[in-house]
Amino acid sequence: MNTTAATRTDWDLVMRAKTGWFDLHLGDLWRYRDLVMIFVWRDFSAQYKQTILGPLWHIIQPLFTTLLFTLVFSGAAHLPTDGVTPLLFYMAGITCWNYFAQCLNGTSGTFVSNAAIFGKVYFPRLCVPVSIVLSNLIKFGIQFAIFLLVLAYFFLTGAAVHLTPLILLTPVLLLIMAALGLGIGIVVSSLTTRYRDLQIFFVFAVQLFMYATPVIYPASLIPAKYRLLILANPMTAVVETFRAAYLGTNTFAPWQLGYSALATLVILAIGVLLFNHVERTFMDTV
């Protein structure tokens, strides 16, 4: 009798209504970690399930984009690349931007895209956007490996490639990109439950955001009157630090990376609070 009671106690689950903005229950994410990993596998495997090339698109897309940027912005427009081989310059920027943009786009539709699931069963809603960030990490790993292979090729052929100790900051840069994409994405997802026009505007805004980030141009090319505006973008320091680490450019500034990390924490905190507030009532608006 006592054994049965103990067993039942082990499996008790207390469900109670959230009462405030700061009633977050973030510990539930860890308890539902198995579900998060299921979502990760679903997101990664389902994306190219009925395609011919499948995961090869993770390789083809960044390579094609890099070649296009090299031809247009370096070959035709003659934009400088801080003395770095143009192909490497653009590939470094695209590798960073793709991961951030994929996290941002994927998490921005959390509520609208998963309304059917959210309305039927309980689980921490943050499991979905977190799983999107983790599944995109696999894609980043593939693209990052391609970047390293291309980097090794140019290094062996005597190109101007200078690895620096800043490569130790790679996990920090990855964490900032993931947190920033998650933070902005869940803010947009929360707002689109009431303002559907934001979904249309968001697609356009992400494209503009790339041009406000030094992906196709070096930060040194920014005119003085626009420099503060570009530096206010948290992704600017991430891209510039990544290039400084792997290509040896001279655009790294510790205070800029510190600002980027702080701004990311603020955006993520706002996103989690807003997401937590909206998830209680979003079924009435979707």
Which residues, including other chains, have CB under 8 Å from residue 112's CB and lie 6 or more apart? Answer: 189, 192, 193, 199, 286
Mean pLDDT of the chain: 83
The Cα–Cα gap between 273 and 285 comes to 18
221 has pLDDT over 50:
yes
User: With bands split at pLDDT 50, 70 and 90, how would you rate the model's confidence at 93?
Assistant: very high
1 pLDDT band, cuts 50/70/90, is very low
Average pLDDT of the segment spanning 239-261: 91
Instruction: Choose among 104, 75, 79: nearest CA to 215.
Output: 79
Query: Which range, 20-34, 211-225, 252-266, is most confident?
Result: 252-266
Confidence of residue 13 (pLDDT cuts 50, 70, 90): low
The runs of H, that is alpha helices, within 57-167 are 57-69, 86-107, 110-113, 115-118, 127-156
Q: What is the mean pLDDT of residues 78-103?
A: 91
pTM for the complete prediction?
0.85
Could you report the per-residue pLDDT of 41-58, keeping only the tens digit for each? Answer: 877 776 666 555 566 777
- As a whole number, mean pLDDT of residues 72-90 equals 88
Is 90 exceeded by the pLDDT of residue 124? no
Cα dihedral sign, 105-222-176-265: negative
| Ranges of each domain in the chain | 24-284
Confidence band (pLDDT; 50, 70, 90) for 192? confident
